[in-house]
Chain A
């Protein structure tokens, strides 16, 4: 019986964005790299995202946000993950996150933030290197 482990990733759109082209491109790139990608769809609450990550037993959460509400929503998501004991999940983010907010987000526990124009191969590489 061989072990067929697969990297399971949740791509989530927190808050009130109505645009998910970026999230879908990332989902597609990760899928093409052999991962199993679950997409939540638009307008998710932190509670929905965390419960979905728990039920789907994912190794990685990718948060995509364009609305500017990351300073409100990301701390709530990280807080809920900690509360549920899901601390081993790798959390990364992308979208429109101003340069000056990046240190604060990283301190919070977001492992990496990928801005517009990041080659998808870079994101794939990062996920592969940070999940074992």
Chain B
């Protein structure tokens, strides 16, 4: 893709250089470029990619009101005491009706806003499904390239299907609050399956122990032979109680990934990203080519006139135009 505007190109170059040295303003600008999904974003990701791969990426998910933002505040404080720099992407939902969003996660972390070792960015989902935004993955890459040691992604208040976080994070923390007994039953198929660490927050409340037991019971039903057994911890985010134990487990999981999993997780993540990229790229190449040859309208007519379903037409089109045929499976 040729970028005609030399001035914006220079500006992008400046942003890239700034990101690599960890400049906060450049990081902020880079994330905006990604969110706005311009052609420039691609160039930027290509340039910063070689600088990524050093950070520990932690996802925090759980139902709304379980205390995700408050716990993240405590996690950051703890890592700062260990002299680690931290980047946060906090995702909140976009209204499907107005396209607007109220981003309030940062309120709980605001005392950290002037700490130069911490970068916090609020992000609206812009109607992307799965609990994060489309830009989240690449925004994490920006923070990684900028040298943040720990990157925390806070999902929107999640229930059953907000599981996209596993494609972004290396370690997923699933958070609950006491009094969700039956709800844990209900969400067993969703976020119960993606947690590397489970946390019952608001542990100072009644029934916290019962919630722990409920989660443990649910986890025992997973009769897989995973090498990592997800621990169930208790925290009181408002006071910070239990947070150092959580950090210990986060570190343990990080070493586990490095020592026991080798490159397995990284390979899985790379595969998922590659497959997605191929799907998008291949689809747009094929459609562009059809448009160029004026064939797209031809096939649309076929759907209507021959009363053929679009999938059969698409298969026919792939054979006719590109000689791509799916092998018969027996």
Contact = CB atoms under 8 A, between A and B. Distances in A.
A1 B28 contact: no
A32 B95 CA distance: 8
On chain B, which size bracket covers the interface?
20 to 34
A3 B100 contact: no
Interface in A20-63: 27-28, 30-41, 44-45, 47-48, 51-52, 54-57
A5 interface: yes
A84 interface: yes
B100 A34 contact: yes
Interface string B114-141: 1000011110101000000000000000
A47 B114 contact: yes
Contacts of B106: 38-41, 52, 56
B32 to A, nearest CB: 5
B110 A31 contact: no
Contacts of B95: 31-32
A52 B110 contact: yes
A5 B37 CA distance: 8
Contacts of B226: none
A2 interface: yes
B100 A48 contact: no
Interface string A88-102: 000000000000000
Contact of B124 (A6, A51, A54, A55): A6
Contact of B120 (A35, A45, A55): A55
B10 to A, nearest CB: 17
A130 interface: no
Given A37-B101, A52-B110, A57-B28, A2 B124 contact: no
B254 interface: no
Contacts of A33: 98, 100
B232 to A, nearest CB: 31
Contact of A55 (B24, B102, B107, B126): B24
B102 A28 contact: yes
B122 A38 contact: yes
A132 interface: no
B285 to A, nearest CB: 14
B7 interface: no
Nearest to B115: A51
A4 interface: yes
Of A27, A32, A38, the most chain B CB neighbours within 10 A belong to A38
B107 A27 contact: no
Given A1-B37, A38-B122, A55-B120, A27 B102 contact: yes
Contacts of B29: 57
Contacts of A48: 110, 113-114
Contacts of B28: 54-57
B121 A1 contact: no
A38 B103 contact: yes
B69 to A, nearest CB: 11
B53 interface: no
A5 B122 CA distance: 15
B24 A54 contact: yes
A27 B101 CA distance: 9
B25 interface: yes
A57 B100 contact: no
Looking at B31, B94, B103, the one whose CB has the most chain A CB atoms below 10 A away is B103
Given A31-B95, A40-B107, A41-B107, A51 B114 contact: yes
A61 to B, nearest CB: 14
Given A39-B107, A51-B114, A3 B122 contact: no
B97 to A, nearest CB: 9
Interface of A: 1-6, 8, 27-28, 30-41, 44-45, 47-48, 51-52, 54-57, 84-85
Given A34-B99, A39-B103, 7 more contacts: A4-B36, A4-B37, A31-B98, A36-B122, A48-B113, A54-B24, A55-B121
